[in-house]
Amino acid sequence: MVSLSRFFRFLSLPGLGLRRSADRQMGQIRTAMLSLLQVHGGHSIQRVAQRVRFAGDLEALWYLRQDVLTALSAVDGEVAARRQMRQINRLFKGGLPGTMGPRTHQRIIT
């Protein structure tokens, strides 16, 4: 007979730890995005904030970056908005598949 503690230890190994880590990362990103948006008012800002609040996973938050950038650009200007978003972009490090990260553009030499 398998002991109950051994069973729970089995359940708490790799997958659960990774899930908690992903949840923590998602919470940090969500909080950072909402803190940038809460400084400003307006219907369009509040609509974006609501979408950030209810995003279901890290990938959804990744794609909402553009909406947050657009909303901030309308209020603060594009340069300031991009500067603010840099810190949020860093929070995604290690949480997304390699194909979803920022793209580096390479010059093609023929």
- Separation CA 100–CA 93 (nearest Å): 10
State the average pLDDT for the chain.
80
Distance separating the N- and C-terminal Cα atoms of the chain = 68
- What tens digit of pLDDT does each residue of 1-32 get? 555 555 555 554 544 555 677 788 999 999 99
pTM of structure: 0.69
- What tens digit of pLDDT does each residue of 49-92 get? 999 999 999 999 999 999 999 999 998 999 999 999 999 999 98
Residue 42 pLDDT grade (very low, low, confident, very high; cuts 50, 70, 90): confident
